[in-house]
Amino acid sequence: MTETPPASDPDVATGLAVKAITRTVVAMAATAVGIGLVGAGAASMAQVENGGAGADVVVPGISVLMVGQLVALVGTALAVWSLVQLLRRRVSDPARNVLGLGRALGLCARFLLAGCIVGVAVWIVVRPGATLSAVLGAIVACQVAFIIGLVRSRLLRPRPAHPTVLGPVTHGPDAHEPHSPEPVVRGLVIPEPNSPGPAAPASGTSSSAERSTPPTA
């Protein structure tokens, strides 16, 4: 019988927390880099630095997009801080540290959604012609909130605290299988298809009834 170590063990809990937070750091950092590349690509195509003709169209979207990158950077910083505290053994309960990071990222996602709504509303009031650009930037920025939701549900979810016991699995003829009784109909036992039937009497042997019957005159 094999028993896995419970998640309540301090070493196991610390290892699980370090693994989850490390993956969170990677996910949030990659998201921040991706959002930055999208904004840089849009600015480069519109030649914003040279005052191109498309600068007035792209700038509103990039400004809203930067809200998403800011939230991704804040989430990365929070995850790094939690990881450092965990590695330095400054946290008494690693599972609580993981849950706290998940709540902080949830607040970041709410701030992102509110910031995108406010940013789009501001551009609608200031420059109504830039509404489409601001909305597109908000849609791309909201992908950060989607990534945060995946991180919270897949990486920072609570782990079971009870041990998992795996018993031996028996295969082959030693396995105990339920035996189905042979069907009985009106006192007669019907053998199963694979069971041998009753032996037939040998040829040339008469039954007791034939031997006891007297000859008829």
Can you tell me whether residue 200 is helix, strand or coil? Answer: coil
Domain membership of residue 98 (yes or no) is yes
Domain membership of residue 187 (yes or no) is no
pLDDT digits (tens, 9 = 90+) for 176-212: 455 555 444 444 445 555 555 555 555 544 444 445 4
In the predicted model, what is the mean pLDDT of the chain?
77
What DSSP letter does each residue of 65-133 carry, written as one string? HHHHHHHHHHHHHHHHHHHHHHHTT--S-HHHHHHHHHHHHHHHHHHHHHHHHHHHHHHHHH-GGGHHH
Choice between 171 and 74, residue whose per-residue pLDDT is larger: 74
pLDDT digits (tens, 9 = 90+) for 35-94: 999 988 888 887 766 655 667 778 889 999 999 999 999 999 999 999 999 888 888 888
Contact (Cβ atoms closer than 8 angstroms) between residue 74 and residue 29: no
Domain membership of residue 210 (yes or no) is no
Domain membership of residue 29 (yes or no) is yes
Q: What percent of the chain lies above the pLDDT cut of 70?
A: 65
pLDDT at residue 48, as a whole number: 65
pLDDT at residue 4, as a whole number: 43
Examine the pLDDT at 214 and tell me if it is beyond 90.
no
- Count CB-CB contacts under 10 A for residue 67: 23
Contact (Cβ atoms closer than 8 angstroms) between residue 26 and residue 85: no
Examine the pLDDT at 6 and tell me if it is beyond 60.
no
Lowest-confidence pick of 36-40, 98-102, 139-143, 172-176: 172-176
Choice between 31 and 174, residue whose per-residue pLDDT is larger: 31
**Number of domains within the chain:** 1
* Token pair belonging to 144: 């950060």
Domain membership of residue 151 (yes or no) is yes
Output the pTM of the full model: 0.66
pLDDT at residue 165, as a whole number: 45
Quote the domain boundaries for residue 107: 10-156
- What pLDDT band is residue 129 in, cutting at 50, 70 and 90? confident
| Residue 136 burial by Cβ neighbours in a 10 Å radius (0-12, 13-18, 19+) | middle
Contact (Cβ atoms closer than 8 angstroms) between residue 156 and residue 102: yes
Domain membership of residue 67 (yes or no) is yes
- What pLDDT band is residue 24 in, cutting at 50, 70 and 90? very high
Domain membership of residue 196 (yes or no) is no
CA distances from 159 to 98, 100, 128, 163, 170 (A): 10, 14, 49, 11, 30
Domain membership of residue 138 (yes or no) is yes
